[in-house]
Homo-oligomer: A and B are copies of this chain.
Amino acid sequence: MAVSPTGYVILGMLRHEPRTGYGIKQVVDHSTRFFWAASYGQIYPELRKLAKAGLVEGESQPQGGRKRTVYRLTPAGREELSRWLGEEPEVLEVRDEGLLKLFFASAGPPETALQTVDARQRFYEAKLAQLREIEPRASAAADDGDPYPDVVLRYGIESCDWAIRWCERAREELGKQDTKRRRAA
C-alpha cells in the first residue's frame, strides 16, 4: 500500500508527538501550508489508510463526551518516514496565476501588467506578515532541539522579501516601458 504525498506530511507531523487529525490540520496551517497544504478531506481518510498499513496507531482519548482519536507513529511509520526523507525530492509544482496573467498581459487592457504586479506585491506582503507571526514559535522550537522548521520558515520569509523587491523593480521597469510607448505613439 503506497503512501500518498500528503501521507508523508501526516507522518512528519507526528514525528515529535502524537496528534489528532484536527491537530495535524492546525499545525499544517501554521507551518507547511505555504509550500504544502492539506485539507480534512485528505487528512482523515489518509490517517485510516496509514493505520491500516501499520504506520500509525490511533488511540481513542475522548475528552468528556467528545470523541477524540490521537495518532502516534509506529516504529514502522518512523522507519518509513526516515526512508522517504533520504530519497531525492521529486515533486516541485507551482501554479501561479499571477505570472500567467503577466505573461499574457499584452492581450489585456494597458494597465493589466501593473495591476498584476501590484496584486502580487500585496499578496506577498500579506504572506510575509503571516510568516513573521509564526516565526517566534518556530524559533522557540529550534532552541528546543529541532532547528529545521525554523530554517524552512526563514526560507519562506526571505523568499517573500525577494518577491516583494522584484515587484518593486518590475514596476519601475514597466513604468519605463509605458513612457517609451507613450512617446512612440
Residues of chain A at the chain B interface (Cβ within 8 Å): 5, 8-9, 12, 15, 31-32, 34-37, 78, 81-82, 84-86, 88-109, 112-113, 115-116, 119-120, 123, 145-149, 151-152, 155, 158-159, 162-163, 166, 170, 173-174, 177
Contact = CB atoms under 8 A, between A and B. Distances in A.
Contacts of A15: 104, 106-107
B177 A166 contact: no
B100 A36 contact: yes
A97 B4 CA distance: 12
Contact of A119 (B37, B89, B97, B108): B89
Contacts of A31: 103
A107 B82 contact: yes
A40 to B, nearest CB: 18
A109 B91 CA distance: 21
Contact of A97 (B37, B82, B89, B177): B89
Given A85-B112, A109-B82, A158-B166, A32 B100 contact: yes
